[in-house]
Amino acid sequence: MIPLSEGQVPGSADAVIIGGGINGLTTARELAKLGLKNIVVLEKNYIGSGSTGRCGGGIRQQWTTKENIKLAQESVRMYEDMSADLGYQVFFRQGGYLMVTESESDLENLNKAVELQKSCGIETEYLQPKDCLKLVPDLNIEKLKGASFCPKDGTAYPFAVVWGYAKACHKLGVKIHIRTTVQDIESDGGRIHAVVTDRGRISTPLVVNCAGPWARTMAAKVGVTLPNRQERHEIMVSESLKPFLNPMVISISNGIYFSQSLRGEIVGGIGDATEPHWEDPADFDTNSQLRFSVRFAKALMGYFPRAAKVRMMRQWAGMYDVTPDHRPILGSVEGLDGYFHICGFSGHGFMLGPVTGVRMARYITTGQADEIIDSLSLDRFEKGDIVMDGFVVG
């Protein structure tokens, strides 16, 4: 068992990490590996209770910006070794990602993306619709115009990953406090001084905001305005079936994605542009909706007709922490020493979290410039350095 405290927090810490999801725990572990001794992770509910525990578990390297490709490439390498590294089985499986489109207008961008990925060392290939049947024999290719495939993409089990990192954190002396709410972050004279929780005050010179959908709320406590908003997304899971689907299938036309878990379930979701957006997560509705069930079922049968007789067993909703350019916000804030944020992954924090923790821990402890972190800093929105990634789906 991993000791998770629900009692009084310590009076002081060298660093406080807000958020017990993938980003908070990877960052805590990497900071501890780099020699930081007294680290406290604060989680308002249970480990992985936010966006991490509500995601589909997909991990892909097929993107249209070099930053996302590079982060994903490094993250996949980490996932490949993660079970051995953490001493905890995370169920990472590389069945590949098959990205399809039903629109002729997507083909030019799809081809450009494949070439960019190849130039970065990713084993992606462009496919004609008929080629998709070699990967997914029962796929309905009637309306498909093209596709891309990377065999090294895959899936992992989100809760196994965060528990593996929690175990690794504990071994390095990191204290994890669950069901602990951050009420305030004290700062003065351009420096962080303390974090105030409902279980006591922690004096600290360093705060890392990994609060996911609550990152905007946490940032506001130190006068930092994040442009993030929250989007509702749902996932549905079927009964267990015999193995028949190796890759994750995802459409850049309508946002549907589906894969088969190691237990045989079909796991998937579909984007919905009509869903409302929130700035305050307190307004978020996590109740399951019949509307999503119908949309997903119809779309799934359109791509995968054999799913018509499959029974759907459960569904849930979660939040995407979305930025204006759908890329994460990483780094520090000028004029506020000791504050850092890791947020805004727009639904892709699970796949990019491990390497982000490594890079951010190094950035925090050494202060050395990091090309990717610098390109994803908050001030890019003021400078107008905005590059949209065309493959943000789901």
pLDDT score recorded for residue 284: 80
Q: What is the mean pLDDT of residues 138-161?
A: 96
The pair phi, psi for residue 185, each rounded to 5°, is -125, 120
Q: What is the mean pLDDT of residues 267-290?
A: 80
Range in 93-102, 229-238, 269-278 the model is least confident about: 269-278
**Are 39 and 28 a contacting pair, CB within 8 Å?**
yes
Q: Over 80: is that where the pLDDT of 272 sits?
A: no
Tokens matching residue 34: 């780099």
> Considering the chain, what percentage of its residues have pLDDT values greater than 90?
84
Q: Over 90: is that where the pLDDT of 5 sits?
A: no
Q: Over 80: is that where the pLDDT of 274 sits?
A: no
Q: CA-to-CA distance for 215 and 373, rounded, in angstroms?
A: 17
Beta-bridge mates of residue 237: 267, 314
Angle in degrees, 0-180, between the axes of helices 66-86 and 349-366, rounded to the nearest 10: 90
Q: Where are the alpha helices (DSSP H) in the chain?
A: 22-33, 66-86, 107-119, 158-171, 215-220, 290-303, 349-366, 371-375, 380-383
Q: Over 60: is that where the pLDDT of 394 sits?
A: no
> Which structural domains are found in the chain, ordered by start?
1-93+153-227+323-394 (3.50.50.60), 94-152+229-322 (3.30.9.10)
pLDDT score recorded for residue 393: 60
Beta-bridge mates of residue 93: 155
Q: Tell me how far apart the 2 most distant CA atoms of the chain are, in Å.
A: 64
Q: Kindly report, residue by residue over 61-78, the tens digit of the pLDDT.
A: 999 988 889 999 999 999
Q: Kindly report, residue by residue over 26-61, the tens digit of the pLDDT.
A: 999 999 999 999 999 999 999 999 999 999 999 999
Contacts of 47 (CB under 8 A, 6+ apart): 4, 20, 21, 25, 162, 163, 166, 176, 178
Beta-bridge mates of residue 16: 40, 207
**Are 22 and 350 a contacting pair, CB within 8 Å?**
yes
Instruction: Tell me the residue type at 55.
Output: C
Of 335, 314, 122, the closest CA to residue 223 belongs to: 335
Q: What is the mean pLDDT of the chain?
A: 93
Indicate the burial class of 246 (C-beta count within 10 angstroms; 0-12, 13-18, 19 or more): middle
pTM confidence score: 0.94
Residue pointed to by tokens 């504050």: 339
Q: Over 60: is that where the pLDDT of 152 sits?
A: yes
pLDDT score recorded for residue 384: 83
Q: What is the mean pLDDT of residues 236-255?
A: 93
pLDDT score recorded for residue 182: 98
pLDDT score recorded for residue 1: 65
Neighbours of 249 (CB within 10 A): 25
User: What radius of gyration, in Å, describes the C-alpha atoms of the chain?
Assistant: 21
Beta-bridge mates of residue 337: 191
